[in-house]
Amino acid sequence: MEADDLSLVSKAQAGDAAAFRALVVRYQRKVYAVALGIVKDPDLAWDVAQDAFVKVHAHLGEFEGKSAFSTWLLRIATHLAIDSVRRERRSRKDDLDDVPEETLAEGGEGILATALGNDPRQNLLRRELAGKITDALADLPEKHRTILVLREVEGLSYEELAERLGIHKGTVMSRLFHARKKMQAALARYAGLRPASEADSKGEEGEG
């Protein structure tokens, strides 16, 4: 797979448009998924994904194959998506890294695990929730959306996340954890699940 990418890249570098088009087709959905997770809006995600390919094409000559082509492409897509979100909401600040203790105290721990379980019949609920994922993601601040998308869609490790986002590994772990907690709170709301301790989770409190 990877060797195939590299041979397409070297053909594209030599001016072979069909080879570049093949790379576009191969990665278009993944790039779009990453962009969608970060920018939320499907049409904006479409544009961001296309811009990522255009930018990659413009800089093909600089690609030396030190990392995988897909890593390079998704790195560019991520930057464009984050830029696009930040341009849209210049005035708002939701990039605080400090996580208040209340986030842990949102309550309802185990509620999703219980609801989803390992019972195959429950896969329906899981599928339903996956269908709500963009709505649930949209409830999160940009930095939490971004780290979740990079971790889950792109599959980056803690080290790679630290490098990509320019933060320390400790910050990666805490940001990712709180992103997941918020995500779970959002999913529980969509699933109609409520924590036993509170009738309604306070949801967007704290660092949002």
> Which residues in this chain contact another protein in the complex, by CB under 8 A?
17, 20-21, 24-25, 28-30, 32-34, 36-37, 42, 46, 49-50, 53-54, 57-58, 101, 104, 109-113, 116-117, 126, 129-134, 137, 148-149, 151-153, 157-159, 170, 173-174, 176-178, 180-181, 183-184, 187
DSSP 39-61: H--HHHHHHHHHHHHHHHHHTGG
Cβ nearer to another protein, comparing 164 with 178: 178
Residue in this structure with the two tokens 């849209």, named with its chain if needed: 88
Q: Is 155 helix (H, G, I), strand (E, B) or coil?
A: coil
Alpha-carbon gap, residue 99 to 176, rounded angstroms: 11
Cβ proximity to another protein: between 75 and 145 the closer is 145
Q: At what angle do helices 17-39 and 42-58 cross, to 10 degrees?
A: 140
| Minimum CB distance to another protein, residue 32 (Å) | 5
Q: How far is the CB of 11 from another protein (least distance, A)?
A: 15
Closest CB 162 distance from another protein, rounded Å:
11
Question: Smallest distance, Å, CB 200 to another protein?
Answer: 18
Phi, psi of 172 (to 5 degrees): -55, -50
Q: Rounded to 5 degrees, what are φ and ψ at 186?
A: -65, -45
Residue 4 vs 119, nearer CB to another protein: 119
Nearer to another protein, 10 or 134 (CB): 134
DSSP 63: -
CB closer to another protein, 79 vs 171: 171
Query: Residue 159: which H helix or E strand, with range?
Result: helix 158-165
For another protein, the closer CB: 91 or 192? 192
Q: How far is the CB of 90 from another protein (least distance, A)?
A: 26
- List strand residue ranges (DSSP E) for 50-165, in order: none
State the nearest-atom distance from the C-beta of 145 to another protein, in Å.
9
Cα dihedral 195, 134, 38, 88 sign: negative
